Amino acid sequence: ETGVTQSPTHLIKTRGQQVTLRCSSQSGHNTVSWYQQALGQGPQFIFQYYREEENGRGNFPPRFSGLQFPNYSSELNVNALELDDSALYLCASSPTTNTEAFFGQGTRLTVV
């Protein structure tokens, strides 16, 4: 059974650019959640997608957007990158919306 995979593992972007992070959910999982983990802090919920629809959103500005595809993989897009967007971005998949979340290894984004 393949777990949650994220790509790329590391990324360096310049302030003002746009970035797309990708996540493949675990087999059989139809729900994907995204979290931002700044250095030395706990993860913060960005949003969740269930069957291609946004199912809940945390306190993040609209320049953070997402997408879920028919195969339940997902993308996180961030526009107009700011230095404070530098963080580890974690994707988690679940069999349904309110069950245990299985996390990927994350994408480390550095904005310079």
Whether the Cβ atoms of residue 11 and residue 108 lie closer than 8 Å to each other: yes
Whether the Cβ atoms of residue 37 and residue 87 lie closer than 8 Å to each other: yes
Smallest gap, in angstroms, from Cβ of residue 22 to other proteins?
A: 15
Among 21, 76, 101, 111, binds other proteins (CB under 8 A): 101
């629809």: which residue's tokens?
A: 53
* Cα dihedral 13, 106, 88, 101 in deg (nearest 10): 140
Specify which residues 26 forms β-bridges with. Answer: none
Among 14, 83, 100, 112, binds other proteins (CB under 8 A): 100
Q: Compute φ and ψ for 85, nearest 5 degrees.
A: -80, -10
Query: Binding to other proteins (CB under 8 A): which residues in 12-51?
Result: 31, 33, 35, 40-45, 48, 50
Question: Residues 51-90 vs other proteins: string with x where CB under 8 A?
Answer: ----xx-x-------------------------------x
Q: Write out the residues near other proteins by the rule CB under 8 A.
A: 4, 31, 33, 35, 40-45, 48, 50, 55-56, 58, 90, 92, 94, 97-98, 100-106
